[in-house]
Amino acid sequence: MTLPHLPMDRENPFDPPAGLASARDEGPVVPMRFPDGHRGWLVTGHAAAREILASPLFSNRPELTRSIVSVPGGTGVGTTAPPGMFSRMDPPDHTRIRKLLTRWFTVRRTRELASRIERITDDHLDRMAAHGPPTDLVHAFALPIPSILICELLGVPYAQRERFQRDTAVLFDLDSQPDRVNAAWSSLGGLLSALAREKRLRPTDDVISELVGGGDLTEQEVVMVAIVLLAAGHETSATMIAHGIFALLRHPEQLARIRADPPLVDKAVEELLRYLSIFHIGPARSALADVLVAGQLVKRGDTVAISLPAANRDPSEFTNPDELDVGRDHNRHLAFGHGIHQCLGQQLARVELRVGLGRLLRRFPDLRLAVPAEDVPVRGNIAVYGVQSLPVTWGQR
């Protein structure tokens, strides 16, 4: 049986669509119809997902892959990635650009940033305390912390946050009309082009200055690299912080475990990444040759949609996968992907999450929702799944 589309309907904001588990019951790789009519594949198994993401026989290039979900103005197969969009390139183009960025996102570099992350986090906790309850945790806490960090790394003025946050939201929204998408690309491009020219004249210690001064990339490539890093560097971490807190507040027994054993926050972060899997659509790959995956013959040219939420709930990989267990030991989740396209900023995201969650829970030990859970607005038709806002309160009941 061929799935008519990617299952998207959820019964609650923490579990993947039930249709994904049903598809996995049929097998780890099942036929699926894409919006343009293409008969490709949906991967729900953990082992199969890792295999495809690590295989050079599958391409990430947009002109070879079909759109997984319908978007306004979409035609199925995409166009060639613009210069610098390394996230949608195969080697050697991907390798050429990514190697220029690696040193900025190593484990060592991230550890060096830990004290800065702690200061930014404490500053926003102070502001929350001074403001008093209730507050929207997204805009008061979850969004500014990664936004400030990625701005400082890239050399983007934080004063431009309203502009780039607005434009990024448009690009991530699957319902955005083509004219709004084009306007958002143009706005981000204009902002970062002007900044690149400024950095060429007056360089500072940041990613954009290094890329501009290195001479390895064209200015167009530098601008696109900056757009990719800026957009992904704040939106995903902000969503994960807010949605992770929402999940803990709805699982008080797990929250109590972290409060009783604060070092447990490290494992809790990995478990929340697995359990929530906020990158819920794709990634997609196109077969460059006939390949046998989990007993299915994926033919050359077939597009494969990999469901990270389904793979991260695969019972063949995880014990009691549908349970949130903040002390989980065996946790080879795929929340950051796998292979050469594994998230470049994953170590930075981990530290932001560990510091943010740990310090928030310590500062406000009685943090709780300020509205009924069913009234918390969740963004579903968007590339990164999570809460739109998270009203919280603390103090006297």
* Residue with the two structure tokens 């396209």: 341
CA distance 294 to 297: 9
Task: Determine contact, residues 388/375, Cβ cutoff 8 Å.
Answer: no
Residues 220, 311: Cα–Cα separation, whole Å: 36
Angle at CA of residue 368, ends 366 and 370, nearest 5° = 135
Taking each helix axis as running N to C, give the angle between helix 265-276 and helix 346-363, from 0 to 180 degrees, rounded to the nearest 10: 120
The residue annotated as part of the active site, out of 237, 277, 286, 307, is 237
Out of 193, 343, 370, 389, pick the active-site residue: 343
Helix or strand (DSSP H, E) at 12:
none
Strands of 391-393's sheet, edge to edge? 135-136, 391-393, 368-369
Per the annotation, the verdict on 352 as an active-site residue is yes
- On the 0-12 / 13-18 / 19+ scale of CB atoms within 10 A, 5 is middle
Catalytic residue chosen out of the listed positions 210, 221, 271, 352: 352
CA distance 5 to 34: 6
- Asked if 151 is an active-site residue, the reply is no
What CA–CA distance (Å, rounded) separates 245 from 393?
Answer: 13
Cα separation values, 238 from 25, 55, 137, 370, Å: 33, 30, 10, 19
Catalytic annotation on 210? no
Residue type, 52: I
Choosing from 235, 270, 271, 317, the catalytic residue is: 235
Residue type, 371: V
User: Can 169 be counted among the known catalytic residues?
Assistant: no
Point out the catalytic residue in the list 81, 151, 226, 232: 232
Return the axis-axis angle of helices 144-154 and 207-214, rounded to nearest 10°: 30
Amino acid identity, position 229: L
**28 by DSSP, 3-state: which?**
coil
Q: Helix, strand, or coil here: 355?
A: helix
Rounded to whole angstroms, how far apart are CA atoms 95 and 220?
18
CB 368 within 8 A of CB 392: yes
What does each C-alpha distance from 40 to 218, 224, 283 come to in angstroms? Answer: 36, 30, 13
The residues annotated as belonging to the active site are 232, 235, 237, 343, 352
